[in-house]
């Protein structure tokens, strides 16, 4: 089971990538995140912790990172993994951003449906919040096509 949400954001991909790399600030644009941190650089293998607004915090690890293009983080508890893949690509007037979520592990059949329901409800709101946060943060004072 994959859950996917897409949004066009009127900023360059580098702005999105910078926002993603500021893990301790995820709560500023992700309404479902109370707190997040990494114990090291934003790179493959770095571990940390994410605490949702509702529920208990879980350990996480960065499992994939392509600077300026994507990253995947995995939240985990015994026998259950939550995979969060984030990609950004240049598009007319900004960036296309995609967040995908899926579950693996022996207990995915047990925990997956409940977590999926929460993700399906929250992911559209999270993407709109990321869009507003990124566009407000970037907010160029002079359009690039100005004389």
Over residues 63-103, the pLDDT tens digits come to 999 999 999 999 999 999 999 999 999 999 999 999 999 99
Angle at 29 between CA 50 and CA 11, to 5 degrees: 125
Digit-coded pLDDT (tens) for 19-30: 999 999 999 999
Tokens linked to 41: 């650089």
The SS3 assignment for 120 reads: helix
**Separation CA 113–CA 74 (nearest Å):** 17
Neighbours of 30 (CB within 10 A): 22
Contact 74, 81 (CB under 8 A): yes
The yes-or-no verdict on residue 138 having pLDDT over 90 is no
The yes-or-no verdict on residue 143 having pLDDT over 90 is no
The yes-or-no verdict on residue 146 having pLDDT over 60 is no
Specify the pLDDT at position 140: 56
Tokens linked to 3: 């859950």
Specify the pLDDT at position 68: 96
The yes-or-no verdict on residue 3 having pLDDT over 70 is yes
What does the DSSP 8-state code read for residue 17? H
Specify the pLDDT at position 21: 97
Specify the pLDDT at position 144: 46
Specify the pLDDT at position 38: 98
- CA distance to 2, 56, 144, per residue, from 113 (Å): 11, 17, 46
Digit-coded pLDDT (tens) for 24-67: 999 999 999 999 999 999 999 999 999 998 888 999 999 999 99
pTM: 0.89
**Separation CA 121–CA 117 (nearest Å):** 6
**Separation CA 41–CA 123 (nearest Å):** 25
């Amino acid at each position: 089971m994959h859950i996917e949400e897409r949004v066009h954001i009127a900023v360059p991909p580098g702005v999105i990538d910078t926002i993603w790399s500021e893990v301790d600030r995820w709560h500023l644009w992700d309404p479902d995140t109370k707190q997040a941190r990494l114990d090291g650089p934003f790179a493959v293998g770095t571990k940390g912790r994410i605490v949702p607004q509702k529920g208990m915090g879980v350990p996480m690890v960065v499992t994939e990172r392509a600077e300026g293009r994507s990253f995947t983080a995995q939240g985990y508890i015994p026998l259950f993994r939550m995979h969060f893949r984030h990609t950004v690509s240049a598009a007319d007037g900004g960036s296309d951003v995609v967040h995908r979520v899926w579950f693996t592990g022996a207990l995915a059949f047990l925990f997956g449906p409940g977590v999926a329901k929460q993700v399906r409800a929250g992911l559209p709101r999270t993407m709109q919040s990321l869009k507003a946060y990124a566009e407000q943060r970037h907010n160029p004072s002079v359009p690039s096509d100005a004389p």
